[in-house]
Amino acid sequence: MTTVTTRTVTYPADGLTMVGHLALPAGDGRRPGVLLGPEGMGLSDVERRRAEALAELGYVVLAFDLHGGRYLGEPEEMLARCLPLLDDPERMRGVGHAGLDVLRAEPRADPDRIAAIGYGTGGMIALELGRDGVDLRAIGTVNGLSDGRPGESARIRCPVWAGVGSEDPIMGPAQRDAFTADMRSAGVDWRFVVYGGALHAFHHPPVDHTTLPGVGHHPRHAERAWRDVLDLLAECLPVPDSVGGRVVREGDRVPGIAV
């Protein structure tokens, strides 16, 4: 296991002072970068652990913030903040660009080799960066699906991978159909995985606060989704073996799940 260095970074976005989590791999050379977006509740130790696990594989990772350093564990407060954000693609893009600027400014990150991976709200922000024409190597979104305004998804310049639970009432059949129709019409290189029997936020470990109906952890599919994310990065944004890149193996630590 390689040595990972972490630090907190603050930056302005959406009228707030965001508090992100930067994870750096061992060494001093430039490495591919990953912009990592959280669920609607906001940045938590789950995303911080995932950022550090990716840094162990050789990536420079910024887990970006949504709510100015706050974690919104009350569903009503989270929805009051997230629903207007999700209804405004320009605001989502602003949040994403702010985090991307921080990652690109990090001397260890290769600004021309960056992927955006997000969960829920963070995944929808990753998609909006692609629709804004950002030069990314890959986009991955877990239980965060959206269709773009007419023609915008044609500006996506990289492969897109999406995963969702079959029993997710928030990202249900209508949202899935709209997303896949949008990808098809835009001519995007895309993949879509439906995890049978999984609810919304199935990847997220159980929490000690109230959640929305239809939210629930699925340990087996959580591991599968993490490995699917790693496969996407290995294909589209590989790290040379000499600096720590490797293929995840059975029994490897799955951050936020097995820890």
CA 50 remoteness from chain centre? 10
Give the mean pLDDT of the chain.
Answer: 93
- Per the document, the length of the chain is 259
Interstrand relation of 31-37 and 60-63 (parallel, antiparallel or unpaired) = parallel
Q: What is the rounded distance in angstroms from the CA atom of residue 129 to the CA atom of residue 139?
A: 9
Residue 69 has pLDDT above 50, yes or no: yes
pTM above 0.85, yes or no: yes
Residue 2 has pLDDT above 80, yes or no: no
Q: What is the mean pLDDT of residues 31-49?
A: 97
Minimum mean pLDDT among 69-78, 87-96, 138-147, 206-215: which range?
206-215
Going 229 to 234 to 237 to 239, the CA torsion angle's sign is positive
Residue 32 has pLDDT above 60, yes or no: yes
Q: Which residues contact 31 (CB under 8 A, 6 or more apart)?
A: 25, 58, 59, 60, 108, 109, 110, 239, 243
pLDDT by residue (tens digit) across 136-168? 999 999 999 999 998 999 999 999 999 999 999
Residue 22 has pLDDT above 80, yes or no: yes
Query: Up-side HSE of residue 200: CA atoms within 13 Å toward CB?
Result: 19
- Please state, for a pLDDT cut of 90, what percent of the chain lies above it: 87
100, 35 contact by CB (below 8 A)? yes
The confidence score (pLDDT) of residue 26 equals 95
Q: What is the identity of the amino acid at 5?
A: T
Buried b (16+ CB within 10 A) or exposed e, 229-251: bbebbeebbebeeebbbeebeee
Structure tokens at 12: 């302005």
Tracing tokens 């915008």 back to the chain, one arrives at 152
